[in-house]
Amino acid sequence: MREFLAHFYNKINIVSFEKLVFPNIQQEVVLLLCEKNNSNSHLIEHLELRDAEELQKLDLSKLKSPKKRIDFKSNKWTFYFLEQEEIDLLEKFQSDKKIKQLGEYAKVEVGITTGSNPFFTVPLSTVQFYNLEKYAKPLVGRSVQVPSAIFTNEDWNKNRDKEARTHFLSFPKMEI
């Protein structure tokens, strides 16, 4: 899909939000705005807004002139969430053989899919109310819970204290 969008459209804008647009579902909302014209350029830009209400104040000129050239060698778009200087620095690090990949030190996986997040991902108050401590595993449920490239126990504790869903309930298998 990304490859099609990148080749077919000349301008792509991705608008994301810091706060949940629909608080009752733990799912990020992204607006994808694309324009096709007769130029040979393929540009992309990412704009992050605090919440959906900021859409009313959005400077439309930002949407009309994305700045970053699409790199057709890569199908990843995560780079476009960064400034061009940050992208250049990361590309320099990637080509440096002295710098090890995270996968050499840790197992990296995409998040969880539970089928019922409100049941399986819970805040500390739910764990305590139902005495679920032995079934509760630490969890970072959403990317907005990670404030920087370095995530500490203190960061997790802050999320827990704010009543974020910081526990994954993992029940043992039962004989039927």
Please report the pLDDT score of residue 144 as a whole number. Answer: 80
Phi-psi region at 115: left, alpha or beta (left = phi > 0; alpha = psi -120 to 50): left
Q: Which residue has the higher pLDDT, 89 or 111?
A: 89
For residue 70, the enclosing domain spans 2-94
Q: Is residue 37 part of a domain?
A: yes
Task: Indicate if 78 and 130 belong to the same structural domain.
Answer: no
Tally the domains of the chain.
2
pTM for the full model? Answer: 0.53
31 closest CA partner among 23, 42, 21:
21
Please report the pLDDT score of residue 166 as a whole number. Answer: 94
Beta strands in 50-157 (DSSP E): 68-69, 121-122, 136-138
For residues 77 and 53, the answer to whether their CB atoms sit within 8 Å is: no
Could you read off the pLDDT of 128-168 as tens digits, one per residue? 999 999 999 999 887 788 888 888 999 999 999 999 999 99
Q: Is residue 104 part of a domain?
A: no
Q: Is residue 106 part of a domain?
A: no
Could you read off the pLDDT of 34-83 as tens digits, one per residue? 999 989 999 998 888 999 999 999 888 888 888 888 877 766 777 777 87
For residues 121 and 114, the answer to whether their CB atoms sit within 8 Å is: yes
- Residue where a domain terminates, one of 28, 60, 94: 94
Q: Is residue 138 part of a domain?
A: yes
Task: Indicate if 55 and 88 belong to the same structural domain.
Answer: yes
Q: Is residue 128 part of a domain?
A: yes
- Residue where a domain terminates, one of 94, 125, 152: 94
- Residue where a domain terminates, one of 63, 94, 125: 94
Three-state SS at 48: strand
